[in-house]
Homo-oligomer: A and B are copies of this chain.
Amino acid sequence: MSTTAKTRLADLARAAGVSTATVSRVLNAKPGVRQDTRDAVHAAAVALGYPLDKPVRRPGSVAIMTGELSNPSFAAFAEMVDTLLYSKGIPNFVCPAGPSGTSEEQHLEALLGHDLAGIVSISGMPANNTLSLEPYQRVIARGIPTVFINSPSPDLDAGFFSCSDIAAVTSSVDHLRSLGHTRIGLAVGPERFLPARRKVAAFEGLGLAGASIQMTNFTAEGGQVAAGRLIESDHTAIICGSDLMALGAIREARSRGLEVPRDLSVVGFDDSPLMAFTDPALTTVRQPVRAMCEAAVSALLRALDGTPLDRTEVLFHPDLIIRRSTAPAP
């Protein structure tokens, strides 16, 4: 080590009130140093005008924030992100938020005590316009690189990777129209969720009526309620905002003595695992899970190495997977 480097270590140690060994650990991104200590060393470097000669990679784990694990789509995204981080040797864990369990905000609060390298958030809080962005603003302000899948926000300094809702709805409508359907309904989750609002906008943009839209919940039960209303108003096809909604819609149709797809066509969204095993096998729009996760993880890794995240939302094109829940209009 050069004398200059030694002097710098000693200066930083004095300014930050820690040992030179600790400064060295911080500069070399070794684990075992508390985040507040690391922050103090970085602040000292800035205050003393010592440019750090290489980007300082944060040690620690990446937290994967996700929605409820009982939605197989969230589980699939989380598993893929783990696989990709693991292939790069980066430890990680999953923080699932659910209606009856720990919320995303509470997870973020608990994480403040952890050695956190970065965050991948899957359908996270920015997708819900009733939630404050403050918890994410706080972690991002602490220099923790964060990337969001399917939950963009213009107000966060982060990376954003989403599946195109316009493409999803357009391909679903095109498919159903090609089968002769004209009474097409849309069943999505509540207004507060961006993917619901985006699908509604895409649906109306295709010249379909607002009266054919039902906003309930992204669950199977939400699908049942929406399907009941759409069936009563003489729709012959329903595009759903999630596979779970589609399964609920099929159940509702059967409970009314209808056959799917003979009497009612149903299209899902996600192509989550097992949808090829459902009765009938579900026609659905497949999110490109691997491609989206690869892009998000790559951006996160570059950010860990000092390349700022690009705030432009990257949109991915989904594929319509045609199985057996759609048929010509009755």
Contacts and interface: CB of A to CB of B under 8 A. Distances in A.
Interface of A: 31-32, 34, 60-61, 63, 68-70, 72, 75-76, 78-79, 82-83, 85-86, 91-96, 98, 100-102, 106-107, 109-110, 113-115, 220, 247, 250-251, 273-274, 277-281
Nearest to A97: B82
Given A91-B106, A93-B93, A94-B95, A79 B69 contact: yes
A102 B79 contact: no
A92 B95 CA distance: 8
Contacts of A107: 91, 93
Contact of A251 (B61, B76, B86, B277): B277
Copies of this protein, total: 2
Given A91-B109, A278-B278, 11 more contacts: A32-B113, A63-B93, A69-B94, A82-B98, A82-B102, A85-B101, A85-B102, A91-B102, A93-B95, A94-B95, A250-B277
Contacts of A114: 114-115
Contact of A98 (B32, B60, B79): B79
Nearest to A109: B91
Contact of A280 (B76, B109, B274, B279): B279
26 contacts: A34-B34, A60-B113, A63-B93, A69-B94, A70-B72, A70-B273, A72-B273, A72-B274, A78-B96, A82-B101, A83-B98, A85-B101, A85-B102, A91-B107, A91-B110, A92-B102, A93-B94, A94-B94, A113-B115, A114-B114, A247-B277, A250-B277, A251-B277, A277-B278, A278-B278, A278-B279
A96 B106 CA distance: 20
A96 B79 contact: yes
A9 B212 CA distance: 70
* CB-CB nearest 3 A-B residue pairs: A279-B279, A91-B110, A69-B75
A276 B251 CA distance: 10
Contacts of A63: 93
A76 B70 contact: yes
A303 B245 CA distance: 41
Nearest to A246: B277
A28 to B, nearest CB: 16
B83 A79 contact: no
A288 to B, nearest CB: 17
Interface centre among A31, A114, A277 (most CB of B within 10 A): A277
Contacts of A274: 72, 247, 274, 278
A75 B86 contact: no
Nearest to A69: B75
Contacts of A76: 69-70
A83 to B, nearest CB: 4
A82 to B, nearest CB: 4
